[in-house]
Structure 1
Amino acid sequence: MLKKIFSRFIFRIKKYISNRKMVEHFESNNGKFWTNLTVSRELNKSSKTNQVVLVEISEKNPFELESNMRVAKTIELNSDLVIEALVACTLKVKEPYVKLVKSYNIARVIALYRVSLLNLFRLIYSLYVALSLFRKIKTLDDIEELTYNGVVIGDLVYDTYIRMQDGKFSPSKDYILLKYITHAIFNCQLYTVLLGKGNVKYLVVADKCYINHGVLYRVAIKFGVKVLMPTKELKWLNAGNIKKHFHHPELSLDEMKLELKDVEIEKQVSSYFSKRFSGEIDQIDVLSSYRNKRVYARDELMSIMSLVPGKKNVLIMPHAFSDFPHIAEGLYNDYYIWLVELLKVVKDINNVNWLIKPHPTSYIFNEIGVVETLLNDIGATNVKVVPKDMNTASVKDLADVILTVRGTPGLEFATFGIPVVTAGEGCYSGYGIDITTSSKQDYVNTIRNVTNIPRLDEAQISNAKMVFYYLFIKPNAMLTYLMKDIESNMSDYNKVLNNILDNNNSELIEDNVLYGITLKMLNQIENN
């Protein structure tokens, strides 16, 4: 026992030393790169205005760091704005990411949770306001609708609660909920002070979900700040898309067709699926769904699960329950409640073969076995769980209809003509690909009449392939060099930092994918 504790202690010491050396190495080399660039471009910070590009650094990972800073540096190099970074820490002297951020040669670093008497008063006031809101909560809807000073915080509180509490897929009215309401209000106050000065023109954020990210960008929008978020695309977050899925193209089908007019979509999609189904795409959900899994024939699965020939196979594909259910609007409060209510309906419908496939990344969220337990508790004995080793590629031959809230498989298998019934807005909503309803009752009626749902026609399949290409295949704003040689260990942040330094030595700043995309977005915003 003592030997094990000692070994663990030594491991942590070695890791600490390694991380500290990496920070020093990155700080020195990245600092030289950006300082030399500033000198060569003859950028004089003293001639800049007091207008600011504010960069959020809250996750403290190098993916967020490099992506956000590349967008901000592009703006700085092409304007009279300076960069300030907002780091989620209390003391700058003890925070390694302060050193990493400073190496980008920026104007100032702000410690979000700086220790001060004023912040203590703000925290006490936040608790007072939170208690007032907390006492009024009766339902989950009440949580979702919580607002503070005109900023909606309820959905962010809701999703933070279930993400941080293992085994809690819907919030309870408890101390934890009060804590997160207080946190959201406190952040609102901090951001209001920071953004209310009127000198922040652009804000660069890494995400729009949960309290840490969501409150900041919503307060920024309230003050008229232009918010940019580098994901698959560089997104302009504004009042019009707060409730929209952040991967939605926000283009009409005609606009998308025009943009992709020179692309052989059929060929590209076919080639991509060949790689995806064999697990060659380095994304965690793809690897979990396809790599080292078995592709079953339809007849084989029919036999294994004792399915009735002649009946439609309706496949329920749940989400990871605690993975940001309020990413867009939906019929139900969260993914867990959706599945509970759905199973209550389908357990009494026996004219189809009901199947369910737990989400492949459920292990990441400590949700293994939740679906099976739920089936037992509800008594949905007519719903069969697919084999655990089933490659998701088997779905295209097995399923006649797919049910999900907004999951990617709905779009993926629509490219094979399989219809999908959704219970919320998603990244492929509005393109005539999924079957949507405007109320829970209409949704239930659709489920009860699921046998009447036809396969997609050729036009729908063609549109599904185009949207799929746009979202998953088209060259995008992601910095692929960050991922070099880390597929087997996504948490190897030191390797990612080295990848950034290697890229500095091999690529001109104008050749970085985010440089051109950012300039294009700035032009779009200024002309809007």
Structure 2
Amino acid sequence: MTHGNWKTTFKRALASARLLPAARSFHYHVRRMADPAFREQEARRQEELLRFDAEHGAAFRRAAPPATQLQQRVLVVSSGSLGLLVEIALVKAIQAAGYRPVILTDYDRWVDRYYRAAGVEELSYWEEWQRPVSPAEAAAMMHGLGSFEPFIHADYCGARVGKYAASTGLRHLRVGRLDLSSPPVREALLPFLHRAMSSARAAQEIVATVKPDLVLSVDPGYTPRGELFDVCLTAGIDTITWNAAHKNNSLMLKRYRQSNRDVHPASLSSDTWRELQTRPWTDVERARLRQELVGSYHSGEWYSEVGTQFHTASQDAAEVRRALALDEGKKTAVIFPHIFWDGTFFYGTDLFESYEEWFIETMKVACANRQVNWVVKIHPANLVKNARDGVGAEPSELVALRSLGAVVPSHVRIIQPDSRMSTLSLYSVMDYCVTVRGTVGIEAASFGIPVFTAGTGRYDRRGFTIDSDTRTQYLDRLRRIHEIPPMSADQRDLAERFAYGIFLARPFSLRTVTMEFQRDAKVSLQSTVHVPQGQDLAAAPDLRLLTDWVRSGMEDFLVPEA
């Protein structure tokens, strides 16, 4: 979906005249004739589709139960071409649980053709559901929202449109914060609010018409998926999300309801956490956890979705201290800033208005506190996201650092996003970890390192992190961070159990369709179907596990043997 601009208006007019399919076909063939690169790309995709259909199409089509057994509907909010084969496998597992799939996607001729090859016929496009509100109505809402706090909580048609407009606006504008006292910022943000409001109205129409009993979606943090996510949960419709886990061929699956709508997909439900705390915790589990963490780093797979460790190498403590010129007479605190404009406002509640504000205020304390070595690890995903967006922008964290002064104090060290030093190596010299809610907090705590958080919704308040209720409390703790004692044995035990849950118990391992991220500039995704000729897809062990979980109604998918 696009903003309410001339392209959208033109598409709507063509659709009303029933000319949109013909116009698309004409545009496609003209481009194919005029653009050799596009022609070559399309020929390759056609060949891949024909191979999929010839080798696996029949197995995917046979996997659907008889129509009489599909008593319920699952609305599949498609990820599009990216990860399409994985998504189709998930849909087939849900179909086996008794759901008839209805696919909702941006127009993409390949999504349509792959789903039809897999035996799924019901597809619709976001643009068909466009229900634009008037620009005047959006402007009136914006006028009534004088500052960021009311804006982020703005609601329309049962959706948190302010939150989604802010997240989507930051992502598109690639800025760190939104100052609503600035007229240019308000003007730039208005189209995103207008789009969010229109998407909320469209979501109501989708739910009323499709009447889904279940939803499958990916990344419901941006417009228009976010608004549909809210409307579905408000209507009592469970939504299952899927996200890449910490290594290739693994997913995080979570079921959302109104009660848990703000939690991170890589979190543990109360039931899962309670169960993990009651299990025996021995050196066997501890060794499995350590092997999973260290092994994934050494292989370079650790969060390969954004290539965080593709080009890094392990170093021992002495090498790290020497490379960073750390004062061995001081403790070391490492700050892990989030990318300011990516995934902002998705989960939980933050102490600060934005990741940028959190970082700047944290850095002010770090620059003033010379009792410890401070290390700032700029997020390596900046490089991949720049490549995917086709920009060469400097990381916003470095821009923010310059706003504090021309020279970084001598007790503060900066690790650039292209550094070859792995995060794993930092744990050997780290005494404290500072983050909002990054994955690094789970890792660090499992190594016995105290973790300071500045946001909720993931692993805070589980008994092993230092969580603050106010900005003042958080900043005061950083000012005396050198006085904070090491974690107790009981705290580390809890941290290890939690990490075990996230990295071993929760990931769903893909076997029927594998997904591997390539070591190129954009970390391209390669998906491969692994169904032997003639095999019944419904018998695939991984898909049967998923089908059973869908039927169970549980919040977290859990590996049975873990």
Question: Which residue in the other structure is 1:187 paired with?
Answer: 199
How far off its partner does 1:201 sit? 0.9
SS of 1:113's partner is helix
Matching residue within 377, 380, 388 for 1:357: 377
Q: Which amino acid aligns with 1:334?
A: S
The CA distance in 1 between the partners of 2:468 and 2:138, in whole Å, is: 35
Map 1:487-526 → 2, pairs under 5 A: 487-488=518-519, 495-496=526-527, 499-500=528-529, 502=531, 508-524=537-553
TM-score w.r.t. length of structure 2: 0.80
Unaligned ranges ≥5, structure 1: 1-7
Task: Name the SS for the 2:460 alignment partner.
Answer: coil
Q: Give RMSD over aligned pairs.
A: 3.0
Deviates more, 1:179-188 or 1:134-143: 134-143
Distance 1:181 1:441 in 2: 32
Bigger Cα displacement from structure 2, 340-349 vs 238-247: 340-349
Separation of aligned partners in 1, 2:305 and 2:51: 33
2:259 aligns with one of 218, 235, 240: 240
Structure 2 contact 268–502 (Cα < 8 Å) conserved: yes
* 1:282-301 equivalence runs, <5 A: 283-284=303-304, 287-289=307-309, 291-298=311-318, 300-301=319-320
Distance in 1, matches of 2:92 and 2:298, equals 38
1:9 Cα offset (Å)? 4.8
- Counterpart CA distance in 2 for 1:77 and 1:482 is 16
Q: What SS class does the counterpart of residue 433 from structure 1 fall into?
A: coil
Whether the 8 Å CA contact 2:240–2:254 is kept in 1: the answer is yes
Counterpart residue number, 1:4: none
CA distance in 2 between counterparts of 1:144 and 1:447 reads: 27
Which residue pairs with 1:143 in the alignment?
151
- CA gap of 1:360–1:62, structure 2 versus 1, over 3 A, is closer
Cα distance between partner residues in 2 of 1:47 and 1:307: 65
- The share of aligned pairs that are identical, in percent, is 20
SS of the equivalent of 1:210 reads: coil
2:176 to 157, 161, 169: 169
Conserved 8 A contact 2:445-2:492: yes
Structure 1 residue 481, shift from structure 2 partner: 5.3
Match of 2:237 among 225, 240, 245: 225
Q: Quick check: 2:332–2:432 contact (8 Å CA) kept in 1? A: yes
* Residue 155 (structure 1) aligns with: 163
Counterpart of 2:270 in 1: which secondary structure? coil
Is residue 449 of structure 1 aligned with residue 494 of structure 2? no
Give the alignment partner of residue 281 of structure 1, picking from 271, 282, 301. 301
From 287, 292, 308, give the equivalent of 1:272: 292
CA distance in 1, matches of 2:209, 2:440: 45
The match for 2:504 is 473
Structure 1 residue 435: deviation in Å?
0.4
Structure number with the bigger relative contact order (C-alpha 8 A, sep ≥ 6) is 2
1:169 maps to a residue whose letter is G
Contact 2:315–2:421 (CA<8 Å) still a contact in 1? yes
Q: Secondary structure at the match of 1:83?
A: strand
Give the equivalent residue in structure 1 for 2:47.
21
User: Are the counterparts in 1 of residues 337 and 377 from structure 2 also a CA contact under 8 Å?
Assistant: yes
Q: Superposed, which structure 2 residues align to 1:105-504 within 5 Å?
A: 105-114=119-128, 119=130, 122-123=131-132, 125-166=133-174, 168-171=175-178, 173-197=185-209, 199-231=211-243, 232-251=251-270, 253-258=273-278, 264-281=284-301, 283-284=303-304, 287-289=307-309, 291-298=311-318, 300-328=319-347, 329-366=349-386, 368-379=394-405, 380-381=408-409, 382-386=411-415, 388-474=419-505, 476-480=507-511, 482-483=513-514, 487-488=518-519, 495-496=526-527, 499-500=528-529, 502=531
Query: How far has the Cα of 1:507 moved from its partner?
Result: 6.5
Distance in 2 of aligned mates of 1:316 and 1:422:
11
Give the aligned residue type for 1:135: H
2:258, 2:523 → 1: CA distance? 34
Unpaired stretches in structure 2, ≥5 consecutive residues: 1-33, 180-184, 244-250, 387-392, 556-562
Mapped to 2, the partners of 1:360 and 1:407 lie a distance apart of 13
User: What letter matches 1:211 in structure 2?
Assistant: T
Counterpart-to-counterpart distance in 1, 2:109 and 2:518: 27
8 A contact 1:233–1:478 mirrored in 2: no
* Contact kept? 1:375, 1:383, Cα under 8 Å: no
TM superposition score normalised by structure 1 = 0.84
After TM superposition, give the deviation of residue 419 of structure 1 in Å.
0.4
